Amino acid sequence: MKSDPASASSQVKSSTPAAVHLQTIGPEEAGQRLDNYLLRWAKGVPKSHVYRIIRSGEVRVNKKRAEPTTRLIEGDIVRVPPIRVALPAQVAAASTAQTQSRARGYSDKMPILFEDEALLIVDKPAGLAVHGGSGIALGVIETLRITRPELKFLELVHRLDRDTSGVLLLAKKRSALVELHRQIREGQTDKRYYLLAHGEIKQGAAVMQLKFPLHKYLLANGERRVRVDPEGLPSHTALRVTKTMQRDGVAITLAEAQLKTGRTHQIRVHLQKLGHAILGDDKYGYEDQDKSIKSKRLYLHAHLAGFTHPRTGEKMRIESPLPAEFTAMMKNFD
């Protein structure tokens, strides 16, 4: 998917009129620190300025001075002095008919796998970033905020790489977000991916335990990369081979990867280190081999998410079917 033309400028020159703002804290904002609340509300305002107006007493909570660490309670009234909030390009773009049309198009390609009052779980297509950023005006979160304006709170629970498809969790309540983050942090979630890898992965045990330490770094152009490094952070992927296929002496492997940790590009780098890079991986893969078998995408798909529902306590198991590109590629090797 190409970069969104609506993102040509990184900053909108106009800004919102400066005025005193009185914000009433609702249930979704309750429990946040004052500084974190203001940093989120006043996007585009330098962090140093936000802390200055708090410490100077210009920000008041229930007409009283407050510290940056003050915890907000539902019903609190926060007074914010006049500040100009610059609008990021993707926020301003949301008001244009063209962007709204584009968002509807993206939404139509993103089936809802589960939704209730606390959660929204979608099947993210490959090629769509989870959030806007450099060169991208619309990601999943911007798309859903435009197409679902009735949702007063919506945040990503976790992330998927732009070229990875599959199950993506979003929270519609702050309490749900906090609880799911706790489950992820304490290793109480189950995230599994299907992948197609180059070559025949010969598996001695039922499950291979890949524990290569990973180090994140930047290329000269600022692009993010990850490599296996003894000084890197510990990481753990459990890999189970499902099927191997061959055609004209060329082999590929269908496998399931279960994340035990959630490092950046973890599965992709672990498979590269194993000597079996994922098909269509333009960062860690084999370009010549991808061209010869006509890889159309990164063949990595988040097919299952298991967790405990943050409201009901029910054990959840959300699954996404194998994409058509996977089955088409495997048919070429049958």
Catalytic residue, candidates 35, 76, 123, 161: 161
Task: Judge whether 187 and 260 are in contact, CB under 8 Å.
Answer: yes
**DSSP three-state, residue 185:** helix
The amino acid sitting at 276 is H
In 3D space, the residue among 73, 89, 183 whose CA is nearest the CA of residue 139 turns out to be 89
- 3-state helix vs strand vs coil in the chain, percent to 5: 25, 30, 45
Number of Cβ atoms within 10 Å of the Cβ of 96: 12
d(CA 263, CA 212): 11
In 3D space, the residue among 164, 160, 235, 162 whose CA is nearest the CA of residue 196 turns out to be 164
The amino acid sitting at 302 is A
d(CA 125, CA 107): 10
Task: Judge whether 17 and 83 are in contact, CB under 8 Å.
Answer: no
Phi-psi map region of 200: left, alpha, beta (phi>0 left; psi -120 to 50 alpha): beta
| Known active-site residue 334 | no
In 3D space, the residue among 26, 49, 24, 31 whose CA is nearest the CA of residue 39 turns out to be 49
Active site (catalytic) residues: 161
